[in-house]
Structure 1
């Protein structure tokens, strides 16, 4: 009998070693049982709105409609008003514009246009803030006013000469400042997309696609563009 009991003990030891059901060594020993926790009660209160309706309320579409209308008005009204001043009050416009040097006028027009592009760029980076959207709308209105005063279009040299005669260089300088800012944005966009598409992700050049690095690259390109206009002889040639 003792040998049989030893065999049973050996079998129990094997079962324990193999990870099978453990046999208690003492009849009074109680095995611990893991208690399964009950599912917690819902902490989110019931709502009569669906998730889509909640997201729609957070989006506040009325603000975006107002913003779109403000952008449209900033494009149309200032340009029309500036063009009307240039045609109907030419001498008054020249009286104020002739105080400035043509390079200064080009720099002012370039600054306003760059500020407009910075406003829309920062509104994308800081999407939760409406400050830069307001800056974009105000900058766009100012840029369109200058464009209207200077009769900006594809062949503006002829229009400015007809309206402003021998002082057309002032309007041409402003137009060149606006065009320089626009071309700077175009060059920046091409370089940015080229880096995204052609450069590997582990390349150091890929850091130029980060938000603040891209903004720095944008300003460098814009400074080169306005430097070409100011010191490249384009203003006197116009």
Structure 2
């Protein structure tokens, strides 16, 4: 009987109910409405990005687990999805460049110290992907009053996607990444996976560049709502989740007989 009732309930659900749209559409509450309508755009963009982050946090864990199990083909498909998702986040971010100059300043006072840099999911995603420099973690601790958020502590206790790739490649006999690229280019599933992860890394680099330009377009050389300066965003352009895959490209020249 319970199964029959469940099936009937499932058949009766509609689009509005399945997506909980009534609740979802109540979550946009611009503080400056209706005087400054661009705030609605600002809120919706960031809420949508956070929804994508939620999916990406799950997906990066899936990719990591597939890499750890040496499931190169499955991990490659998952990594390509991550790259596509990052592209969607980039597209969402880019829409903010369409706001008229000065529009952000009209509703900025209503944001208080709220800043995208405070996105807990974004930091979780970076940590899970492989960005764990001590200076970065120290900055997160300072922002958290001397300690990391719970989700960040949990992420740090897990292997990152980058660490899983290094371990999996070592188990497969990779000792020299430049030589691996020279000998395996286009020949092995592990090589294809590495290139898919470079694409994922590059997609985030493109997002950081776009974000840096967007902030300058909106604020000029001014500080962000959380007091951050443009130099912080410049430094973020150096972040790579898989730096050794990029470094191997330069090292390939040393293996060339024409070098």
Query: TM-score normalised to the size of structure 2?
Result: 0.30
Higher relative contact order (CA 8 A, sep 6+): 2
Query: TM-score normalised to the size of structure 1?
Result: 0.32
* Structure ID, larger Rg: 1
